[in-house]
Amino acid sequence: MDLDYLQMLMGEEEVVVEEKGEGYRNIWVVAERAGDELVPVTLEMLNQARQLASTLGAYVMAVLLGGDEALAQELIYYGADKVFLCDDPALKDYALEPYAKALGDLFAEKMPEIVLFGAADVGSELAPRLARRLGTIVLTNCTGLTLDAAQRTLVCTMPAYGGEYSEVVAFSPEVHPQMVTVRPGAFGRPYRDEYRSAEVETVAVDLDGVQPRVKVLNVVAQVEREPVPLDKARIIVSAGRGMGDAEGFALVEKLAAALGGEVAGSRGAVDEGWIDEEKQVGMGGVTVRPDLYIACGISGAIQHYLGMEEAKFVVAVNADENAPILKVADVGIVGDAKEVIPAIIEALGA
Amino acid sequence: MRIIVPIRQILDPRGFTVSPRHERIFINREEYIINPNDKNALEVALSLKDAGEAEVIVIAGGQARLDDALREAMAMGADAAYLLTDEVLAKTDAAGVAEALARGIEKIGDFDLIVVGQETLDTADAQLGPWLAEYLGVAQVGGVRQASISDGVLRVRRNWGAGYAEVEVALPALLTVASGANKPRYPHGGRIMAAYREWQVITWNSEDLGLTAADLAPLTQGRGRAFPPERTLGERLTGSPQDVAAELVQQLRLRRII
């Protein structure tokens, strides 16, 4: 047989072995922290990773940069099967180059099959950079993750045009590792199970010659959110006389803050003196068109309805099951707003 | 100073309606616009040009219709435009376009700054900026709201958590600009005619970039679209406050309202 032909056959065989992605195992979650706390999207990713892992027959590995043992334990309580902790002092505060080097080296050695990053400040910068470094790609801002079991690939849902619909995209089977960034709030938080126990492995990182190239001058932790005019607001939480007293109205303000929305009121709330007249929704007040309108303790007389009928999604909380607002609401809750609102704030995890 | 801004194009959302009931998009008018976030990036580049000496170059890769987007960018104030297109480039995915743009930027060469929009409106794709920075081996800052230059050092205000951070970075560097960071300028009246009639868009094909069809093979597979649940009127939730609250929050998240 011709020797060239034989070599060609052997060459081909090698390529096939590479394409199977052998050696790429487990689902990795890159933990993101703000100071000494894990940011919520990290916990949400652990939740989703657990579900994928049981379908895939894989472990959930978490990697924590610059944190400590106690924070690594938290990752285990929330669902990690093992935590790789890089506690090098150079990783205490986020800087792109050392973080990318630490993760790049770790992933090159451990060969993860799937890697999840949070689509927050840090994950959004790091994930595409690492994807390029590892010769792969990343699908960003995912709000849904499922598996195509037949070809063992991730199927990702990404919001299109701000969520009008979603694009569903799968990785090609030859892509390893499959990397995604996960949009905060897309998945629920897992149960914190203090009975879970697992190993924390401290990993040394080689940061020789790696210098941060971006110098942080100062950080402003919180900016006062500028109030958005009601007619342009995306989320409005509105109070009516049914909130009972100023204390009840304060709950409405709290819910609006938790949702990042604006506070408004019906004529009743204005008459009670809880809110200024320019925040009144309805006839004689403002007409609003938010994506979400939550009416709390508002009966929904026609004068009010005319001011909010163009809201895309209406939620009403009212004690009176015959209140007209419940007939126009997309979701109606019959109950005491003073009990329901704190429960909603709790459920939002804020 | 040379600033390069990649430009992407999306289907104009004013030209279609989404019907969750039919699980379809009805296109009334197939028109394409510059990805709005890329206009924010262009505005950052043009305002740096306004503040000092700079040449702003726009570049786009993919389908031939990007020519329009590049001419609009020139009308807004860009000095030169490069279009990377041929049959192969028109068919690749976001990863292939990124590869082509990286090669194109290398071929243009001598850049000091690259400014990219953080994400696309149509597929929420936020890969391009950091991916290019890694390819080109330059420093990178994300979530940018404002930038200014003095003595070859770039000073940037970027989003950071619930607040912001002020950072400094030496050139060459790449910035990804946050969506809505600024109000992009309108095309300049005096430039519009010239941009569409006279000025050249330099076109390179995949061969010019040293890319083959195999290099540009898509790394992803489209699996269609998903639609939010249809609006149902007058649903009542019952149960304990905790139960109804959990159900409500889940529904709002499912519908992508929060």
Across the range A276-283, mean pLDDT stands at 89
Cα(B63)–Cα(B203) distance, rounded to whole angstroms? 12
Q: How many domains does chain A have?
A: 2
Q: Within 13 A of A230's CA, how many CA atoms are on the CB side?
A: 21
Spatial CB neighbours of A320, under 8 Å, sequence gap ≥ 6? A242, A299, A334
Contact (Cβ atoms closer than 8 angstroms) between residue A49 and residue A60: yes
Paired strand residues for B112: none
In terms of Cβ atoms closer than 10 Å to its own Cβ (0-12, 13-18, 19+), residue A132 is: buried
Query: How does DSSP assign B98-114, residue by residue?
Result: HHHHHHHHHHH---SEE
pLDDT of residue A16: 38
Q: What is the CATH number of the domain that holds A252?
A: 3.40.50.1220
Same domain, A181 and A50: yes
Sorting pLDDT into bands at 50, 70 and 90, what band is A10? low
Residue B96 — φ and ψ, nearest 5°?
Answer: -65, -40
Across the range B2-9, mean pLDDT stands at 98
Across the range A42-57, mean pLDDT stands at 95
Q: List the 26-85 stretch of B: residues with Cβ below 8 A of A.
A: none
Same domain, A49 and A146: yes
User: Which tokens is B85 given?
Assistant: 């297109």
Least confident of A112-126, A152-166, B78-92, B102-116: A152-166
Same domain, A242 and A195: no
pLDDT of residue A187: 87
Nearest to B167 among A126, A216, A348 (CB): A216
Across the range B104-118, mean pLDDT stands at 97
pLDDT of residue B231: 58
Q: Within 13 A of A184's CA, how many CA atoms are on the CB side?
A: 17
> Is B164–A223 a contact, with Cβ atoms under 8 angstroms apart?
yes
pLDDT of residue A98: 96
Same domain, A241 and A121: no
> Is B226–A34 a contact, with Cβ atoms under 8 angstroms apart?
no
Across the range B231-257, mean pLDDT stands at 83
Same domain, A264 and A186: no
pLDDT at B76 exceeding the cut of 60: yes
pLDDT at A13 exceeding the cut of 50: no
CA torsion through residues B5, B8, B13, B19, sign: negative
Query: How does DSSP assign B62-109, residue by residue?
Result: ESTTHHHHHHHHHHHT-SEEEEEESHHHHH--HHHHHHHHHHHHHHH-
Strand B163-170 vs strand B153-160: parallel, antiparallel, or unpaired?
A: antiparallel
- pLDDT tens digits for A207-246? 998 999 999 999 988 776 677 889 889 999 999 999 999 8
CB atoms within 10 A of CB A191: 11
Q: Label residues B176-212 b or e (16+ Cβ within 10 Å = b).
A: bbbbebbebeebeeebbeebeeebebeebebeebebe
Contact (Cβ atoms closer than 8 angstroms) between residue B120 and residue B36: no
Sorting pLDDT into bands at 50, 70 and 90, what band is A133? very high
Chain A contact for B239 (CB, 8 A cutoff): no
Nearest to A125 among B142, B237, B246 (CB): B142
Same domain, A254 and A188: no
> Is A167–B222 a contact, with Cβ atoms under 8 angstroms apart?
yes
pLDDT of residue B147: 96
Contacts of A163 in chain B (CB under 8 A): 228, 256
Q: How far is CA A228 from the centre of its chain?
A: 24
Nearest to A121 among B13, B143, B235 (CB): B143
- pLDDT tens digits for B181-237? 999 999 988 899 999 999 999 999 999 999 999 999 999 999 999 987 765 567 888
**Domain end: A157, A183, A202, which one?**
A202
Across the range B91-99, mean pLDDT stands at 93
Closest chain A residue to B154, measured at CA: A214
> Is A329–B234 a contact, with Cβ atoms under 8 angstroms apart?
yes
> Is A213–B219 a contact, with Cβ atoms under 8 angstroms apart?
no
pLDDT of residue A6: 57
> Is A140–B119 a contact, with Cβ atoms under 8 angstroms apart?
yes
Write out the residue range of the structural domain in which residue A318 sits: 230-348
| Residue A60 counted as domain residue | yes
> Is B140–A96 a contact, with Cβ atoms under 8 angstroms apart?
yes
pLDDT at A3 exceeding the cut of 80: no
Contact (Cβ atoms closer than 8 angstroms) between residue A155 and residue A162: no
Distance from CA of B79 to the nearest CA of A (A): 29
Same domain, A163 and A285: no
Same domain, A238 and A188: no
Mutate to test the interface with A, among B18, B21, B92, B127 (most CBs of A within 10 A): B127
Q: What is the CATH number of the domain that holds A55?
A: 3.40.50.620
**Domain end: A202, A220, A246, which one?**
A202
pLDDT of residue B179: 92
pLDDT at A196 exceeding the cut of 50: yes
| Residue A43 counted as domain residue | yes
Distance from CA of B189 to the nearest CA of A (A): 30
Mutate to test the interface with A, among B10, B175, B237 (most CBs of A within 10 A): B237
Cα(B104)–Cα(B106) distance, rounded to whole angstroms? 5
Same domain, A253 and A171: no
> Is A335–B241 a contact, with Cβ atoms under 8 angstroms apart?
yes
Higher pLDDT among residues B90 and B255, named by residue: B90
Q: Output the average pLDDT for chain A.
A: 89
Across the range A144-160, mean pLDDT stands at 94
- pLDDT tens digits for A317-331? 999 988 889 888 989
Same domain, A234 and A189: no
Across the range A147-170, mean pLDDT stands at 92
Across the range B126-150, mean pLDDT stands at 96
Cα(A183)–Cα(B74) distance, rounded to whole angstroms? 34
User: Which tokens is A160 given?
Assistant: 């299109």
> Is A334–B236 a contact, with Cβ atoms under 8 angstroms apart?
yes
Across the range A76-98, mean pLDDT stands at 95
- pLDDT tens digits for B28-61? 999 999 999 999 999 999 999 999 889 999 999 9
pLDDT of residue A4: 61
Cα(A32)–Cα(A41) distance, rounded to whole angstroms? 8
The residue to which tokens 């050092």 are assigned: B153
Same domain, A70 and A180: yes
Nearest to B123 among A100, A137, A158 (CB): A158
Same domain, A86 and A135: yes
